[in-house]
Structure 1
């Protein structure tokens, strides 16, 4: 019975993390400096309001919080800092694994940290590892102390089981739908030997739709009035043009340096 209870807790934490993380990302992307137009962006590759990365992250934070008793350091502050460091490393590892899987097997980069210092393949960087540490601290001080009592009450409520079942039913359907769309992108990327930046592709579709006065969908970002294949071709042309411009700029800079 204890195992079932723990599984229910983990199932709830995953679903809560997915939804809360999605909300955090929506607000962050709305106000990030690169979003000069201040448009609302649906993050991730799924249609609905959830991000699995944060779901796994919240489950991991819950499990790691129990490690505090095994960190034998007398100084309480240092002990907490070590715990938050472990949380940051673990979350960064999840980010790395998820990013690598999509790049290697799907030819898709779901997020891009290329503009941040000391990044690795644009999927992890110290800046966001620090953010994970801060989120770990927020979870530890504001959520974890109250989570067990709350979850115990929820797990004994019949409505709780219905909500969890409903969430996972919709979630599985969304996964099937979204991976079907991703397969088209994967095939196109493999044929053209490229890695597609997913958020950049969605931005390209939105801007192209606005120029053509077509309807752009916040949730169904890849569902377009124009053929999706045509958008992919236009995206490829735009990427190649940017590469040519970068090469030209590098050539000019080298010429100027040589003259100096």
Structure 2
């Protein structure tokens, strides 16, 4: 890990992992501060449970590889804005296709593309990368170089294992959430069918189905609740009405 070249570049896997870890953590911190200021309450942002947003880490690794040779601030600004915007678009589409959910939505912003990306955020990407590459990253290169070799390996592997573990937990939470939405939709269909069959009269079957529906909606899952809090604009392509109901109930419980 320490001496292995990162895909033939001038950096090692060891260095790139630390850059990934560093900027994933900084990205998480920026997200948390921004949302805390906007909403007035702390929100643990990001797909993972820990203080890491991998989308920022991977994005900055690409920026470091591509833009390190570029000296012009203007060129660096525009190229980094394009790279980060493209990366955000790819991740947004990928996560929607895999999980059948939309995780963020810029539809309310001007000059957006299907809610995945927007001009305002793209311009902020460029500014952020310019500041990082010209001011912050050179300092971080020195800091990482001062970490003792053996200590760096132990810490690196520890965080790597943790990220894998956290990713599995988060993936399982999304799978359970989608399954819960599917079950709730199935109960709703049965309720409608039962109501139509008995002409609107409340029967024992309807009462039982409603009770089952309410129990399932109110069933606590701390991992799912964290995801719903971290992604307030989460949209289900199949069961969004039910998901909205779950989010509203979660808000009432927190109040």
**Partner of residue 191, structure 2:** none
How far residue 234 of structure 1 moved from its aligned partner, in angstroms, is 4.7
**Partner of residue 149, structure 2:** 157
Q: 2:106 aligns with which of 113, 120, 127?
A: 113
How many angstroms apart in 2 are the aligned matches of 1:152 and 1:49?
23
SS of the equivalent of 1:3 reads: coil
The RMSD of aligned alpha carbons is 3.2
How far residue 48 of structure 1 moved from its aligned partner, in angstroms, is 1.0
Gaps of 5+ in 2: 186-217, 229-239, 248-255
Residue 148 to residue 45, structure 1, CA distance change in 2 (3 Å): closer
Residue 215 to residue 118, structure 1, CA distance change in 2 (3 Å): same
Matching of residue 29 in structure 1 with residue 21 in structure 2: no
How many angstroms apart in 2 are the aligned matches of 1:185 and 1:215?
11
**Partner of residue 221, structure 1:** 226
Deviations, residues 37-74 of structure 1 (Å, cap 9, x unaligned): x11111122111110101112212221332316xxxxx
Gaps of 5+ in 1: 70-78, 193-211, 224-231, 240-260
Q: 1:125 aligns with which of 118, 128, 136?
A: 118
Contact preservation (8 Å) 1:44, 1:110: no
4+ residue runs of structure 1 moved beyond 4 angstroms? 187-192, 214-220, 236-239
Deviations, residues 11-62 of structure 1 (Å, cap 9, x unaligned): 1111111111111100001112xx2xx1111112211111010111221222
How many angstroms apart in 2 are the aligned matches of 1:184 and 1:217?
12
Q: How many residues align?
A: 198
The correspondence of residues 223-238 of structure 1 with structure 2, limited to 5 A, is: 234-237=242-245
How far residue 118 of structure 1 moved from its aligned partner, in angstroms, is 1.2
Taking structure 2 as the reference length, what is the TM-score of the superposition? Answer: 0.68
Matching of residue 14 in structure 1 with residue 6 in structure 2: no
Residue 190 to residue 135, structure 1, CA distance change in 2 (3 Å): farther
SS of the equivalent of 2:85 reads: helix
Taking structure 1 as the reference length, what is the TM-score of the superposition? Answer: 0.66
How many angstroms apart in 2 are the aligned matches of 1:62 and 1:53?
14
Contact preservation (8 Å) 1:107, 1:189: no
Residue 108 to residue 167, structure 1, CA distance change in 2 (3 Å): same
SS of the equivalent of 1:113 reads: coil
Residue 45 to residue 147, structure 1, CA distance change in 2 (3 Å): closer
